[in-house]
Structure 1
Amino acid sequence: MTLPFVKMHAHGDDFIIIDRRGLDDPITPEVARRLGDRHTGIGFNQLAVVLDCEDAAARIKFWNPNGTPLATCGSATRGVADRLMHETGADSVVLRTDRGLLTCVREAGRRVSVDMGAPSLDWAAVPLAEAMDTRTLPIEGRPAACSMGNPHCTFFVQDIAAVDVAALGPALEIHPLFPAKTNVHFVQVLDRGHIRLRIWERGGGVPLGSGSCCCGAVVNGIRRGLLDATVQVQCDGGTVTVHWDGQGGVVLTGSVAPVMQGSAYAFEC
């Protein structure tokens, strides 16, 4: 069986989109792993499967390259929105994910914004293993935590160049405090409107960028009193803008770009 796909990226955060509107959904953990392998498959940070939906333009299911599902992906949501807005000629579109209904809007300069919804700040919603103040966790480095539909743990450091993300990330991802594992961020605050961010992504490793991680890092920085409401987030692959007023949804804005399209074997021949 072959599956047509489009590959895109957002500030280096690469993802593939498989449009199954009007069709069945053949993606299983094994198929996601096969497609996600960068040596024997296509390779991606996330896979977005576009499905029919009664109360939105489409429903999106997300997969990590290790075959685990995830509730949200800011980059791939914007990529799907970009394609559907091109398809219809509209300047906005509403998509359903496990986070709920997300509104996406066309911005200037081939940028797309998405309201990712309000962050979850309570310990049980992150989730954490026990009750505590999520602004300061009892882990060396005193990180903060929140959820954007998936868990985020943010360390604020003086010199991000001195942090070995690939060495520290795997152990922190599976720390006992995080029963569902966690994304891990390392943030250097350059000023109140500008941060440098590096990421260990749950189920994925070290990406060039991540939309939901950018959102989680900014939310945690604002909660710590370190950042203003609008922040430029400089990732390894480029820069996005995150806005949060401390009450409502977190708005992520940045460019998306197509990389390639083709057909992939979903199963071994």
Structure 2
Amino acid sequence: MKLRFTKMHGLGNDFVVIDGIRQSIHLDPAQRRHLTDRHFGVGCDQILLIESPATDDADFRYRIFNADGNEVEQCGNGARCFVRYVHDRGLTNKDEIRVETRGGLITLRLEPNGNVAVDMGVPRFEPDAIPFIADGYAPVYPLELDGKCVEISAVSMGNPHAVRWVDDVDRAPVQTEGALIEGHPRFPRRVNVGYAQVLDRGHIRLRVYERGTGETLACGTGACAAVVAGIRRGLLASEVEVRFRVGSLAICWEGENRPVWMTGPATFVFDGEIDLANAS
């Protein structure tokens, strides 16, 4: 089976984008893993599959698959690449579109400067909504981890996030501790793990260990989760620049029952075709 695709990235968080409207797509988990493999496939953090919407409330539907082949609920950097793709490929001429995701309906807006603003929805803090096993909400939770106790904030941005506050993200144990938190039994669906360093009330640095993928160069939902968790703890203002290793995102949250807005770039890399006949 030959598959046409487009490679894109948002601040180095890279994607294989597939048009499931103009071509019929049925990928099994082995084929998804083959696509994401950086040695034998195309190579990416996640696959984005564009489809027609299931309801009249949306312009499109898109599905997100991690490098392990599993489908997930939401992806902020992927959402920005999505809107650039459908606009540049003539699938829509709207500058603002509504999109169905597994994590809910989101609104995306193409800005005049080429950046993309995304309404990421209202964050959820109730443990059952994340999901996270806890006796009620708290701004910080203790988490037992291999004989030691660490502190996390927990939030859902349509997908689950744990946020660790550190003095220096360059020295944070992202690769070792991140994997342990990702699979911790108190997160029944596993979790994305962010390590955030507060520079001042309007700026943070962030590294994210993504569920099913590992550390990525950037994470849009992780940026949103870190900012809202920091605002809840009184550490941050309502508008924050989140700095990654290769760029930054602007995150704005005006408080309870209000959506989080994320603004940043989306970049085309190349178009290609791959034969998945022998993928396994």
Question: TM-score normalised to the size of structure 2?
Answer: 0.92
Instruction: Find the residue that maps to 2:222 and give its secondary structure.
Output: helix
Instruction: Show the 5 A alignment for 1:225-240.
Output: 225-240=234-249
Letter matched to residue 215 of structure 1: C
Q: Determine the C-alpha separation between the residues in 2 that align with 1:237 and 1:19.
A: 27
Q: Is the 8 A contact 2:75 2:221 kept in 1?
A: yes
Letter matched to residue 61 of structure 2: R
Letter matched to residue 131 of structure 1: D
**Identity of counterpart residues, as a percentage?**
37
What's 1:184 paired with? 193
What's 2:14 paired with? 14
Instruction: Find the residue that maps to 1:142 and give its secondary structure.
Output: strand
Instruction: Return the offset for 1:228.
Output: 0.8
Q: Determine the C-alpha separation between the residues in 2 that align with 1:220 and 1:108.
A: 30
What's 2:278 paired with? 268
Q: Determine the C-alpha separation between the residues in 2 that align with 1:136 and 1:109.
A: 38
Instruction: Show the 5 A alignment for 1:198-237.
Output: 198-237=207-246
Q: Is the 8 A contact 1:85 1:92 kept in 2?
A: no
Instruction: Find the residue that maps to 1:206 and give its secondary structure.
Output: strand
Q: Which moved more, 1:92-101 or 1:9-18?
A: 92-101
Q: Call closer, same or farther: CA 1:68–1:134 in 2, change over 3 Å.
A: farther
1:146 to 155, 174, 189: 155
What's 1:59 paired with? 61
Runs of 5+ in structure 1 lacking a partner?
none
Q: Determine the C-alpha separation between the residues in 1 that align with 2:114 and 2:86.
A: 14
Question: TM-score normalised to the size of structure 1?
Answer: 0.95
Q: Determine the C-alpha separation between the residues in 1 that align with 2:126 and 2:271.
A: 41
Instruction: Return the offset for 1:135.
Output: 1.5
Q: Determine the C-alpha separation between the residues in 1 that align with 2:138 and 2:275.
A: 43
Aligned residues: 269
Q: Is the 8 A contact 1:74 1:211 kept in 2?
A: yes
Q: Is the 8 A contact 2:196 2:206 kept in 1?
A: yes
Q: Call closer, same or farther: CA 1:206–1:156 in 2, change over 3 Å.
A: same
Instruction: Return the offset for 1:85.
Output: 2.4
Q: Determine the C-alpha separation between the residues in 2 that align with 1:116 and 1:177.
A: 25
Runs of 5+ in structure 2 lacking a partner?
144-148
Instruction: Show the 5 A alignment for 1:125-144.
Output: 125-139=129-143, 140-144=149-153
Instruction: Find the residue that maps to 1:124 and give its secondary structure.
Output: helix
RMSD: 1.4
1:91 to 89, 95, 113: 95
